[in-house]
């Protein structure tokens, strides 16, 4: 076997919230063959598999993950340009693809600058910001099924929607995403990217561990505004807190557990529903067992 399977690896350092338990088994594949080998190994052992990118949109429970975590956050990050098309492997950082595209005078994703995840995670969730979404530029996505069969899907076949794609239900691993961009004015693109990064710094609590927006935007409304109107700015449960700077950001204010973050988000859903009638839906993905709230 050419892959290195490690055991009981702490996941909290690999997750932007800095919470959660360990992975029972952990592999960092760096080629499609290594993904296939790792999947075969997990299948043989009857293990559940989870694919982890940069961990910037999820929380593992405090018990961790009992199966195999395949981690792309440090490897498998090739990026290949051909004219105005770019193919990026799942572990490539979205921000790197954005800066390269701007550097190459290509428009279409300049407002996605500063999103801290991978191309795999971004494709899975159809990452977007400031009026742009990955789905607008994706041409096709190559993935592998859990039994190692390669699949290529066109944009339409991926079922992209607001922070959603068919990959939520497909149980496949995204290996590569191909984007098509359009030529633009390099100076204007650089200025737009700088402005995007400035806005992020100004509005987001980037000094404390978080996972971006906790809730999706309800149709015609803003989750942050509803949370603020409900009087929850700065509201805290254990070490988890609604940011004072941006109400749709939950932050780890120090010593939070994964359960604290889950409890806080459940209580926010409950109170916002009571105060405004709107049911918020989580954007951050929770993996594993969590105690229900209220208890």
58 binds ligand FAD (CB under 6 A): yes
Residue 201 DSSP code: H
Q: How many CB atoms lie within 10 A of CB 150?
A: 13
Q: Peptide bond before 249: cis, by omega within 30 degrees of 0?
A: no
Is 287 strand, coil or helix? strand
Which span (30-38, 110-118, 182-190, 219-227) binds ligand FAD, by CB under 6 A? Answer: 110-118
Residue 283 bears catalytic tag: yes
Among 128, 142, 252, 280, binds ligand FAD (CB under 6 A): 128
Kindly write out the interface string for residues 208-237 of this chain, putting x where it contacts ligand FAD by CB under 6 A and - elsewhere. --xxx-------------------------
Which span (1-9, 19-27, 49-57, 273-281) binds ligand FAD, by CB under 6 A? Answer: 49-57
CA distances from 60 to 18, 52, 167 (A): 10, 10, 19
How far, in Å, CA of 143 to CA of 254, rounded? 38
Contact 46/111 with Cβ under 8 angstroms?
A: no
Residue 48 bears catalytic tag: no
Which span (116-124, 183-191, 229-237, 254-262) binds ligand FAD, by CB under 6 A? Answer: 116-124
Q: Which residues contact 129 (CB under 8 A, 6 or more apart)?
A: 111, 112, 114, 115, 196
Nearest-approach distance from CB 258 to ligand FAD, in angstroms:
14
User: Which is catalytic among the residues 28, 61, 101, 163?
Assistant: 163
Footprint of ligand FAD (CB under 6 A): 16, 50-58, 72, 90, 115-118, 120-122, 124-125, 127-129, 167, 173-174, 204, 206, 210-212, 285
């Amino acid at each position: 076997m050419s892959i290195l399977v490690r055991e009981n690896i702490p996941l909290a350092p690999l997750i932007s919230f800095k919470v959660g338990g360990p992975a029972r088994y952990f592999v960092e594949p760096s080629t499609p063959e290594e993904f296939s080998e790792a999947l075969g190994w997990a299948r043989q052992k009857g293990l559940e598999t989870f694919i982890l990118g940069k961990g910037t949109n999820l929380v593992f429970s405090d018990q961790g993950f009992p199966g195999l975590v395949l981690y792309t956050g440090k490897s498998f990050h090739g990026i290949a340009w051909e004219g105005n098309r770019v193919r990026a492997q799942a572990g490539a950082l979205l921000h790197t693809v954005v800066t390269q595209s701007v550097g190459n005078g290509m428009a279409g994703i300049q407002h996605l600058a500063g999103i801290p995840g991978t191309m795999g995670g971004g494709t899975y969730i159809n990452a977007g910001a400031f009026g742009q979404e990955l789905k607008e530029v994706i041409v096709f996505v190559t993935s592998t099924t859990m039994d190692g069969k390669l699949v290529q899907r066109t944009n339409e076949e991926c079922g992209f929607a607001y922070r959603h794609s068919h990959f939520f239900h497909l149980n496949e691993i995204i290996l590569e995403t191909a984007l098509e961009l359009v030529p633009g004015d390099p100076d204007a693109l650089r200025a737009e990217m700088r402005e995007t990064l400035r806005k992020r710094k100004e509005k987001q609590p980037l000094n404390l561990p978080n996972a971006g927006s906790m809730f999706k935007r309800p149709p015609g409304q803003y989750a942050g505004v509803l949370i603020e109107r409900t009087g929850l700015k700065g509201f805290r449960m254990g070490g988890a807190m609604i940011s004072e700077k941006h109400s749709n950001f939950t932050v780890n204010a120090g010593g939070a557990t994964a359960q604290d973050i889950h409890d806080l988000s459940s209580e926010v859903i409950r109170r916002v529903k009571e105060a405004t009638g709107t049911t918020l839906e989580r954007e951050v993905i929770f993996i594993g067992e969590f105690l229900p709230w209220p208890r």
